Amino acid sequence: MSSTRSFLLAAFALVGFLLWQAWQQDYATPPTLAAEVAAPVNGAATPAPKQVVAPRDGADIPKAAGTPAPAPIPTVAETTPSAAARIEVRTDLLHLSIDTRGGAIVQADLLAYPIDPDDKTQPVRLLDDAPAKFFVAQTGLVSNDSPAPNHTAIFTAAQTAYALTDGNDTLEVPLTWQDASGLKVRKVYIFRRGSYLIDSHQEITNGSATPWSGNEYRELRRVPLVIAGSGFSFNNPEKYAFAGAAWYSPQDKFQKLQFDKYTTDKLCDSKESDPKVLAKCTFTGGWVAMLQHYFFAAWIPDSQEADQYTISVVPDNGTPRYLIRTQSPALTVDPGQTRSIASHLYIGPTLESQLDAVDKANIAHGLDLTADYGMLTFIASPLHWVLVQLHAVVRNWGLAIILLVILIKLALFKLSEAQFRSMAKMKRLQPRMEALKQRYGDDKQKLSAATMELYQKEKINPLGGCLPTLVQIPVFFALYYVLLESVELRQAPFFGWIHNLSAPDPYFILPVLNAAIMGATTWLSPASPGMDPTQAKMMKVMPLLFAVMFLFFPAGLVLYYTVNGGLSLLQQWVITKRMQIAEKAR
């Protein structure tokens, strides 16, 4: 394969990939609404689909593991819904709102990540209980034969506001629930300075005369992510980033599930009642999460706890809310005793330093996979690590990208050199190739045989210009995902007119420069023997096509392509000149 065709192959691969990605987002089948309210984990078999109605408050509460449950025991929340209040919590990184109904975290602002880089007063709100953006983190207790505060029960708190003050590295926010029988539950959230990881404890004190037995569940539920803008375009990375549920198990590693795939059997449905099926979704050392571009929330059970993992779709006035849940094994608390159940909640960015700290503390493994690089993770993750290390030295993400390109070019230097030498030899042979075409005319068989004889005589490998391109394509796409998914580059400035590497170049200077480099590369590259007029026209149009497409790419991506193309052009020019000098010296 000639160098020209290899160039077309790489270009068409990129364009085809981006077009497919855009089509998937713009025209794929929208999420379907489940036909049922989520049924008990250990309940009866799933009935036939029926008309969706808004569930009674608490109708989606799981049932405790064990013997079949009696009728639900009413909670304070069901009789006095107005008793709930909000607790404001502020740390150095988070501003949260905790609802005393269930002790759920219903709002979470990420203070270090403004929505608009020019307005630092409006941070990204990851969790939100507004109906259109509903996304909350909940916990609760369930019991088959005893009172238990689920996520609809009303807790009380000593304060309505808590703040991590100077001189303190931790902040505890306790909430309390107590039943007339003597059962007392103290739910505590523990926040630490410089961390997005929140410790969660439920302390169960049994002041009754009989043993208490039940389970804790932790769940994330949300509506599908609303993304601003519509239509067929590349200028909004959120449109092409994964949004949905994810989980991790030591056996199957990282798994993810789009909202429109919730009817599949990738993870046990909360309607499931077969113990053998549910046993397959019970494991230790796992976690569940809801992901969106750059940010996510995850419940992490104790690493030694064998939890049951389920999903469901919970309709609410006709709007689907997608739920992923973990449920602990049964816990028994004898009269007069106190026992505690611990877990962790992460609310924050896919920031490598934060996720590495969670891994090193043996709290959760695989959390770094929430920065979703797709099937090329094995290439993308090392590239991201190198990019972070380079930034630690130069303190500028644009410079780090340039240095990363240089390192990649050095690593692939021999392949590129072989490619450009082959291209230079092909260009030198162009007059002789034209002579062969004139001699054999339309006899393609004789032209092909004569061309191969010429290649052998001049010791040219016709695949020399293609193989290096094929090897570099996986690196090309892996780095595309790194630059698209790295939260570190979000709103990161470069120099001069580029104030945000995650937004398009405001003056289109980089796309135009990239088009000029591509045009020069095309001019230096020899035309393929026997290339038809359509291919020749495509080669001429390709730089213009890429220039238009790159107008809407994040500046960080275009910076990479421009620097990579510029270095390749320089390397190709130097090799071509050296070969010309060597040819003249003969």
Summarised one tens digit per residue, pLDDT across range 552-584 is 888 998 999 899 889 988 988 887 788 778 767
Q: Give the pLDDT score at 331.
A: 95
Looking at every residue in the chain, the average pLDDT score rounds to 82
Q: Which of 370, 404, 423 is the last residue of a domain?
A: 370
Number of domains in the chain: 2
Unique residue bearing structure tokens 């002789």: 432
216 in the same domain as 179: yes
Residue 59 lies in a domain: no
Taking only the tens place, the pLDDT of each residue in 195-251 is: 999 999 999 999 999 999 999 999 999 999 877 654 444 556 666 688 999 999 999
User: Does the residue 426 lie in any domain?
Assistant: yes
Q: Which has more pLDDT, 568 or 36?
A: 568
pLDDT of residue 586: 63
Cβ atoms within 10 A of the Cβ of 583, count?
11
**At CA 217, angle to CA 216 and CA 218, rounded to 5?**
130
More confident residue, 176 or 585: 176
Asked if the structure places residue 75 within a domain, the reply is no
CATH number of the domain to which 192 belongs: 2.70.98.90
For residue 480, the SS3 value is: helix
Is the same domain home to 325 and 437? Answer: no
Q: Which residue's structure tokens are 């060597």?
A: 582
Query: Which DSSP category does 337 fall into?
Result: -
Q: Is the same domain home to 482 and 428?
A: yes
Return the HEC string of 379-390.
HHHHHHHHHHHH
Could you tell me which of 500, 527, 514 has the C-alpha nearest to residue 569?
514
User: What does the pLDDT average to over 409-414?
Assistant: 85
* Better-scored residue on pLDDT, 367 or 36: 367
Contact between 55 and 316 (Cβ < 8 Å): yes
Q: Output the pLDDT for position 241.
A: 81
pLDDT at 60 over 70: yes
The pLDDT tens digits for 425-434 are 777 777 888 8
Q: What is the pTM of this model?
A: 0.82
Of 193 and 448, the one with more pLDDT: 193
> Could you give the 3-state DSSP secondary structure of residue 340?
strand
What is the pLDDT at residue 280? 82
Residue 195 lies in a domain: yes
Q: What is the pLDDT of residue 278?
A: 78
State the average pLDDT over residues 453-475: 73
Asked which of 310, 341, 370 is the last residue of a domain, the reply is 370
Task: Look at residue 66 and tell me if it is in a domain.
Answer: no
**Do residues 353 and 463 both lie within one domain?**
no
Q: Which domain holds residue 419?
A: 3-20+386-585
